[in-house]
Amino acid sequence: QSALTQPASVSGSPGQSITISCTGTSSDVGGYKYVSWYQQHPGKAPKLMISDVSNRPSGVSNRFSGSKSGNTASLTISGLQAEDEADYYCSSYTSSSTLVFGGGTKLTVL
């Protein structure tokens, strides 16, 4: 199975909104509602930010939102803050009953 496709990097200024895409196939992203997004700061373990395409776990800021259209899922961060600078990864359930991650996106807050 191939990794999901994410842009290598995105950037935005404080207060702006950015969107990170995650493109797969009908056998993963497009076929199921089991897409998750993770935030990872340097030297730290990842943190779940979005599950089931658009659900925010308890404690996650409502500035983070998720959506999906066809084979592409998206993570939107509104009101960018300096603390949002991190790596972001998507993951999806697959038709083989496995999980696959995206390659990761480095978010820079200018």
Partner 1 sequence: EVQLVQSGAEVKKPGESLKISCKGSGYSFNSYWIGWVRQMPGKGLEWMGIIYPGDSDTRYSPSFQGQVTISADKSISTAYLQWSSLKASDTAMYYCVRPMYSNSWYRMDYWGQGTLVTVSS
- Pairwise CA distance, residues 76 & 87, whole Å: 14
The distance of closest approach from Cβ of residue 13 to partner 1 in the complex, given in angstroms and rounded to an integer, is 26
Return the range that interacts with partner 1 (CB under 8 A); candidates 15-23, 63-71, 77-85, 92-100: 92-100
31: which DSSP letter? G
C-alpha atoms less than 13 angstroms from C-alpha of 97 in its C-beta half-sphere: 0
DSSP string, 57-82: PTT--TTEEEEEETTEEEEEE-S--G
Only segment of 12-20, 65-73, 77-85, 89-97 that touches partner 1 (CB under 8 A): 89-97
In the complex, least distance from residue 36 CB atom to partner 1, rounded to whole angstroms: 5
Q: What is the CA radius of gyration of the chain?
A: 13
- Say whether residue 48 binds partner 1 (CB under 8 A): yes
CB of 93 to partner 1, least distance (A): 4
Helix (H) or strand (E) holding 39: strand 35-40
Task: Determine the interface stretch with partner 1 among 11-19, 36-44, 61-69, 70-78 (rule: CB under 8 A).
Answer: 36-44
Residues found near partner 1 in the complex (CB under 8 A): 1, 3, 34, 36, 38, 40, 45-48, 51-52, 57, 87, 89, 91-93, 96-104
